[in-house]
Amino acid sequence: MSQEKSNRAGGVIRRYAALLPVSGATPVVTLAEGDTPLVRAPRLAAAVGGGLDLYLKCEGLNPTGSFKDRGMTVAVSKALERGARVVVCASTGNTSASAAAYAARAGLRCVVLIPEGNVALGKLAQALMCGATTLQVRGNFDVALALVRQLGESDAVEVVNSINPARLEGQKTAAFEICDALGDAPDYHFLPVGNAGNITAYWKGYREYHAEGQSDTLPRMMGFQAAGAAPLVDGAPVARPDTVASAIRIGNPASWQGARAALDESGGHIGKVTDAEILEAYKLAASTEGVFVEPASAAALAGLIQCRREGRIEAGSIVAVTLTGHGLKDPDAAVQHAPVQPVIVEADLAAVKAAMGI
Ligand SMILES: *Cc1c(COP(=O)(O)O)cnc(C)c1O
């Protein structure tokens, strides 16, 4: 395996082929996704109470700026292998950006269904630039996914939402990378939960690596939903999910059972965080560590802050947090909530010095 692991240019399929549903006959459609930075975050750890060994898995560094690329490389490669001609998805934005890019790379047509007026600007720009047929549905994500499920009942069409098992297979590689980097699993793994595919995929990855003897321990899986879109916490679907964190604005998660299993089997915890807590964490990551993420990613950090406050995480723990998407995805949210705003000054030294306060 070490030969494959060292193949950093090749993306997650080549790196972890032995643990993925691919063969020599699979055409590998890759943009060299994965191998994202695991950044140690001592200043952020101190800001959340100290005494933790905190690591940030920066998934915004994937080719299209979110973790969706790990799953998309496998889903689109398998679609090409079986002869599908069109990939379709419903999306709050990042799945559509990723599907559009990998479909372009594969020479396949891409159709994305997104909730009208509710997709962050960067994500919309990505789908459009890659030439995806972009359908703005008059309804929310859950409605769009129900439509896509019906489209999927045709041979030419491949659904690349996380209801496609290939997506979760690809996404589990992030857990492998964390074990490779730390030498074992962390004690706790925090991540935001929307459609719940990613928490399901990480738990699968951790369990498989453990079964393969590549790690000795398993983490507790700690999932966080936005308070206005917390069906897993509340125990029932939410008809009108609402949160600033558009990537997790989902009321009826497709991987409900998978998430429950990950939480129960790992001895984990699912909680919810308010938009105010999400925005606090959003700013904290950028201001303490220079790590700029999108609001949904900050839900995981807000969850960590909440858990520390509630005394759920003992000092000395090794904690990994998946930062699912890049901050540039949602420039409107950033400019609106940033701690500072630009200052206009005259073009002379005295004015600049005065503005600097020196
Ligand atoms: C897709 C996404 C999520 C949610 O992941 P699920 O697998 O749907 O739970 C969280 N954050 C970002 C940035 C995403 O793109």
CA 265 – CA 208 distance, rounded (Å):
14
Q: How far is the CA of 19 from the centre of ligand 1 (A)?
A: 23
Which residue's CA is the closest to the ligand 1 atom numbered 14?
247
Atom of ligand 1 nearest to the CA of 162: 7
Backbone angles phi, psi at 225, to 5 degrees: -110, 160
* 355 CA from centroid of ligand 1 (Å): 40
Contact between residue 224 and residue 191 where contact means Cβ atoms under 8 Å apart: yes
pLDDT at res. 153: 74
The residues, any chain, with a CB within 8 Å of residue 238's CB and separated by 6 or more, are 228, 229, 230, 231, 251, 252
Percentage of residues in the chain with pLDDT exceeding 90? Answer: 95
Say yes or no: CB of residue 198 within 6 Å of ligand 1. Answer: yes
Q: For ligand 1, say whether the CB of 248 is within 6 Å of any of its atoms.
A: yes
Shortest-distance atom of ligand 1 to CA 259: 9
Distance 194 CA to ligand 1 centre (A): 6
User: Which residues, at least 6 apart from 296, have a Cβ–Cβ distance to it below 8 Å?
Assistant: 192, 194, 226, 245, 246, 247, 248, 324, 325
- Is ligand 1 within 6 A of the CB of residue 294? yes
What are residue 36's phi and psi, to 5 degrees?
-80, 155
Tell me which residue has its CA closest to atom 15 in ligand 1. 94
Using N-to-C axis directions, what is the helix angle for 94-106 and 121-129, rounded to 10°? 20
Q: What are phi and psi of 57, to 5 degrees?
A: -90, 105
Residue 8 has a pLDDT of 45
How far apart (Å, rounded) are the C-alpha atoms in residues 190 and 224?
8
- Give distance in angstroms: CA of 185 to centre of ligand 1: 21
CA of 249 to the centre of ligand 1 (A): 9
Q: What is the DSSP secondary structure assignment for residue 219, as one 8-state letter?
A: P
pLDDT at 26: 97
pLDDT at 3: 43
pLDDT mean by block of 10 residues, the chain; 358 residues:
50 97 97 98 96 98 98 98 96 97 98 94 97 96 94 88 96 98 98 98 98 98 98 97 96 97 98 98 98 98 98 96 98 96 96 96
336, two tokens: 């609106």
Residue 154 is predicted with a pLDDT of: 79
